[in-house]
Chains A and B, each alone.
Chain A
Amino acid sequence: MTDQNGPKLLAENVHKAYGRNEVLRGIDMQVRTGEVACIIGPSGGGKSTFLRCINHLEKIDSGRLSVDGELIGYHQRGGKLYEMRDKEVAAQRRSIGMVFQRFNLFPHMTAAENVMAGPVVVRGDNKKKAR
């Protein structure tokens, strides 16, 4: 299903609400390979929420989100959506980089170990190679 010529990131009519607080009301966005996109807005405007949705740290309420033409968090078969297993979501996240607002570095590790945590723990790379 991967579409090489399509947009890198595609968001169509993305909605997300926390309880009755609607944060994202129909976001449409396209980012092509090599493009740099900035999302600018006041605090509480939903920038981080949108980014978290792209990583499936938050589930969207309606609309579509795909990276490299691959739907985030769901499989689509015969017009029906199936939730992905945790392992599959984790596999998707591995190819999406993200830096948090407060960085959320792991304080019990060194700087190098922080960077290596992904490849070593998740992919089982050997430590020397990761360095």
Chain B
Amino acid sequence: MSTVSTPGEPQARSKPPIEAVPVRHPGRWVGVGIVAIFAAMLVHSLLTNPNWGWSLISEWIFAPPIVKGVGVTLLLTFLSMIIGLALGVLLAIMRLSPNPVMSGSAWVFVWAFRGTPVYVQLFLWANVIALYTTLSLGIPFGPEFFTFETKTLIPAFVAALLGLGLNEAAYMAEIVRAGILSVDEGQEEAATAVGMSRLQTLRHIVLPQAMRVIVPPTGNETISMLKTTSLVIAIPLTTELFFQASAVGNRLFQPFPMAILASIWYLALTSILMVGQFYIERYYAKGAMRELPPTPIQKWRRRLGRGGSND
């Protein structure tokens, strides 16, 4: 039943919804078919090829040395990131300082620590003993009060933290600097005009806005750091996840399943970090976007509420 209304008599119009046949996309179905075949092949081989060693993996995944390795890996990641962040912010501020000695020394730090491989740096920290056998506390070029042996002062874990943390600081410094530079100059001016000091301006006006630019790459760095911890074998620090997993693998003559086991742990941990990153990013998007991006939960709720989706 349809009524044809002519323009000019708006009162009498009814509003029947449009019922049209949607455009068909046969190409999409072909694509879906191809992907489905590959996915089926992958799942089939995962399930049927005994060399994956799933039973071995499930047997060892929560074994004490592995779980302890996960703990050490996480601890290394977070402590190194804290060192990297704190030192990175300091270096970025130094780099932007009007004092040429400050900005120059920050530049040299970034140049040296970003310009050499972490693996080499870790090795150097572990062998700093070869360079300085003792460390002393005293007046520079004058008398010494306390003397320590480097061997006892820098155990493997501390060497790992130094290597990872200082390397990270160089990268974080550049990320933070980019964030600070991304804030409009007018903001600093306005804050100055209200009578804020340089430090107050930085803390209350510039840094909160710079965070929006700083957070995404920092999350990236954290995920990257989690994986970089597997390089501490250069020291060698042997308690972390990958070394423990491959040690078990070598003992059982099954190195491959144990590498998969380590990968499963790394993937699980990075997935958790990604969730955290999403919510932190959302928090700092305040004021920069009209509407905050929906959380996954909100997305699903909306999609279900609408019934059929349009894509």
**Which A residues form the contact surface with B (CB < 8 A)?**
55, 57, 86-87, 90-91, 93-94, 96, 98, 100, 102, 104-109, 117-118, 121-122
Q: Say whether B196 faces chain A, with CB atoms less than 8 Å apart.
A: yes
Tell whether, in the assembled complex, residue B209 and residue A57 are in contact, meaning their CB atoms are under 8 Å apart. Answer: no
Cα distance, A86 to B98, chains bound together (Å): 14
Determine the residue in chain B with the shortest Cβ distance to A102: B186
Segment with Cβ contacts to A, from B33-41, B126-134, B144-152, B198-206: B198-206
Tell whether, in the assembled complex, residue A94 and residue B194 are in contact, meaning their CB atoms are under 8 Å apart. Answer: yes
Least CB distance, A65 to chain B, in whole angstroms: 15
Cα distance, A32 to B203, chains bound together (Å): 37
Tell whether, in the assembled complex, residue A107 and residue B197 are in contact, meaning their CB atoms are under 8 Å apart. Answer: no
Tell whether, in the assembled complex, residue B204 and residue A117 are in contact, meaning their CB atoms are under 8 Å apart. Answer: yes
Residues of B close to A118: CB separation below 8 A: 194-196
In the complex, chain B residues 137-195 whose Cβ is within 8 Å of any chain A Cβ: 184, 186-187, 189-195
Q: Say whether B4 faces chain A, with CB atoms less than 8 Å apart.
A: no
Residues of A close to B196: CB separation below 8 A: 90, 117-118, 121-122
Residues of A close to B194: CB separation below 8 A: 93-94, 117-118, 121-122
Apart from A87-B197, A94-B195, A117-B205, what 16 extra A-B contacts exist at CB < 8 Å? A57-B189, A57-B193, A86-B197, A90-B195, A91-B195, A93-B193, A93-B195, A100-B186, A100-B189, A102-B186, A104-B189, A106-B190, A106-B191, A106-B209, A108-B209, A121-B200
Determine the residue in chain A with the shortest Cβ distance to B285: A108
Determine the residue in chain B with the shortest Cβ distance to A94: B195
Determine the residue in chain A with the shortest Cβ distance to B200: A121
Task: Please encode chain B, from 218 to 262, with 1 for each CB lying within 8 Å of some chain A CB and 0 for all others.
Answer: 000000000000000000000000000000000000000000000
Q: Which of B189, B190, B205 has its CB near the most chain A CB atoms (within 10 A)?
A: B190
Among all A-B residue pairs, the 8 with the closest Cβ atoms: A94-B195, A104-B190, A104-B186, A107-B287, A118-B194, A108-B287, A93-B195, A90-B195
Residues of B close to A86: CB separation below 8 A: 197-198
Q: Give chain B's interface secondary structure class.
A: helix
Cα distance, A56 to B67, chains bound together (Å): 61
Cα distance, A118 to B196, chains bound together (Å): 7
Residues of A close to B192: CB separation below 8 A: 57, 90, 93
Tell whether, in the assembled complex, residue B189 and residue A122 are in contact, meaning their CB atoms are under 8 Å apart. Answer: no
Residues of A close to B189: CB separation below 8 A: 57, 100, 104
Cα distance, A105 to B194, chains bound together (Å): 11
Determine the residue in chain A with the shortest Cβ distance to B197: A90
Tell whether, in the assembled complex, residue A121 and residue B204 are in contact, meaning their CB atoms are under 8 Å apart. Answer: yes
In the complex, chain B residues 259-288 whose Cβ is within 8 Å of any chain A Cβ: 286-288
Determine the residue in chain B with the shortest Cβ distance to A97: B193
Residues of B close to A91: CB separation below 8 A: 195
Tell whether, in the assembled complex, residue B195 and residue A104 are in contact, meaning their CB atoms are under 8 Å apart. Answer: no
Q: Which of B192, B195, B196, B287 has its CB near the most chain A CB atoms (within 10 A)?
A: B195
Residues of B close to A93: CB separation below 8 A: 192-195
Determine the residue in chain B with the shortest Cβ distance to A117: B194
Residues of A close to B191: CB separation below 8 A: 106, 117
Determine the residue in chain A with the shortest Cβ distance to B193: A98
Q: Say whether B208 faces chain A, with CB atoms less than 8 Å apart.
A: yes
Cα distance, A98 to B195, chains bound together (Å): 11
Cα distance, A121 to B186, chains bound together (Å): 18
Residues of B close to A102: CB separation below 8 A: 186
Residues of B close to A107: CB separation below 8 A: 209, 287-288
Cα distance, A55 to B192, chains bound together (Å): 9
Determine the residue in chain B with the shortest Cβ distance to A118: B194
